[in-house]
Amino acid sequence: MTAVTEPARGRKRSLNLSLALCFTLMAVVIVCAIFRSSIAPDSPFTQRLEVGDKPPSAEFVAGTDLLGRDVLSRTIHGARTALVGPIIVAAGAFAIATILGLLSGYLGGWVDTVIMRWVDFMLALPGILVAIVVVGVIGGGYWTAVAVLIILFTAPDTRIVRSAVLEQRPLPYIDAARSLGISKRRILFIHILPNILPLVLAYVALDFAFALVNLAGLSFLGLGVEPGTPDWGRMLFENRNILFTNPLGLLLPAGMIILTAVSMNLIGDWLFERLTK
């Protein structure tokens, strides 16, 4: 008995520790995004051309970039764009996909056909390339990229919501609601939606992680935030040439992107398991 339960206990402790670290990291990112000016040791915009890129020191804990700006301060201020854009993308995709998926899965017929053909078309497009082209042609930088990602993320989420609704539609409680003359709108949003909400919330967390990585990638390519804006993706582009003089200038924002995305993925998995028990 002991040989069977001890590994399980070990895995559970490891999982709990991982979740605690994920929640701690996200709390740190949120605090940095909200209180960035109070936490940052220096202005992220102050240039010191005479200093240039220097390794970590007592004055600059994470060193400076090519323009002599404090890397740690810019990383702290970069938490704002790392949170705001992905949150808007995840929330926007969640709202649109939930409505379309509910209508497609429950109503069926021509409504389902039209919505799913649009979903198939969107899934056939190379998402990140479409974002690059649209943002590059239209302009608008960061917020145009956010709007494009909302549209691109809506398609796969719609298919997932539709599949969940199709599982709920033949269940007895839906038949009972129909027999009582309850309106379709009430059935969709009062009866079906709460039952599929755990799945939807899990994918909201995944959307956040994917949006964070995509927005950082667009900023790295010069299609996201404006030059000089403290942003993790933009910092990767600006500091790519100082890897050997100040490695933290590149590794710190890169590590924050990776750790934040991984943390949200794990939190999404945990939410799904807890809400579906």
Q: What is the CATH number of the domain that holds 235?
A: 1.10.3720.10
Residue 43 lies in a domain: no
Structure confidence by residue, pLDDT tens digits, 240-251: 888 888 999 999
pLDDT per residue over 110-131, tens digit each? 999 999 999 999 988 888 888 8
Asked if the structure places residue 233 within a domain, the reply is yes
Do 138 and 95 meet the contact criterion of CB atoms below 8 Å apart? no
The answer to whether position 16 is within a domain reads no
φ, ψ at 64 (rounded to 5°):
-130, 165
Helix (H, G, I), strand (E, B) or coil at 221: coil
Domain that holds residue 252: 80-275
Phi-psi map region of 72: left, alpha, beta (phi>0 left; psi -120 to 50 alpha): alpha
Q: What is the pLDDT of residue 59?
A: 87
User: Per the domain annotation, does 269 fall within a domain?
Assistant: yes
Number of folded domains that form the chain: 1
pTM of the model: 0.86
266: left (phi over 0), alpha (psi -120 to 50) or beta: alpha
Is 2 a residue whose pLDDT tops 60? no
